[in-house]
Amino acid sequence: MDLVQIDVLYNRDDIKNKVQMLGKKISEDYAGCELLVVGILKGAFIFMADLVREITVPLEIDFMDVTSYGLSTSSSGEVRIIKDLEYSVQDKDVLIIEDIVDTGLTLKHITEILKTRNPKSIKICCLLDKPSRRKANITADYVGYSIPDRFVVGYGLDYAEQYRNYPEVCIIKPFKAADPQ
Ligand code: IMP
Ligand code: MG
């Protein structure tokens, strides 16, 4: 993908409103609780930074970084932990924050690992969801936007480590020059 076309899918205002709604719902659902918010690096870093500022219950944050074995363009489902959590999840209400759920294989693996550590509860919040691509039985508890099978970048999401800093969520596709007249 040398030349690419980038179209805005959700702009700054769309995302701001959506993150506020998610934060409000999470705050209501966890009233009286203390949360451990676990961000999955790197894609979740911007979404998580905005979302935690919309959550009003006490919370701690931690991060996990994983990589999947195999081909880079699609998840193989075999996940290796590159950076593990700093804190124990035992008896904690854990909320995993992910940028996008695609096949669901990564989150299936992560939730399986964390469940062995005896948390009080585990839920998932993702900004974006591509349900048509699902291979694993994973349903996020909080979903910003359900999107079709398109590759998106920006607001933390990358293509080959680029575009994470774009403030909008954009669809990226190979650029096709117009046919000569
Ligand atoms: P899954 O295991 O297939 O659900 O993989 C999810 C991960 O794949 C996400 O955390 C992203 O890092 C990456 N991913 C999936 N779809 C996209 C996309 O459209 N843009 C950028 N990254 C994506
Ligand atoms: Mg990711």
Domain CATH for 134: 3.40.50.2020
**Catalytic pick from 50, 93, 102, 129?**
102
How many angstroms separate the CA atoms of 128 and 173, rounded?
18
Closest ligand 1 atom to residue 98 Cα is 10
At how many degrees (to 10) do helices 45-52 and 12-29 cross?
Answer: 60
pLDDT, tens digit (0-9, with 9 covering 90-100), for 131-153: 999 999 999 999 999 999 999 99
Does the pTM surpass 0.85? The reply is yes
Catalytic, 91? Answer no
Tell me if 65 sits within 8 A of 81, measured CB to CB.
yes
Position 170 in a domain = no
The pLDDT value recorded for residue 124 is 98
Average pLDDT over residues 163-175: 96
Q: How far is CA 131 from the centre of its chain?
A: 14
Distances (CA, A) of 22 to 19, 47, 163: 5, 11, 24
Q: Domain range spanning residue 138?
A: 15-151
Closest ligand 1 atom to residue 68 Cα is 2
The pLDDT value recorded for residue 181 is 58
* % of the chain exceeding 90 in pLDDT: 86
Position 22 in a domain = yes
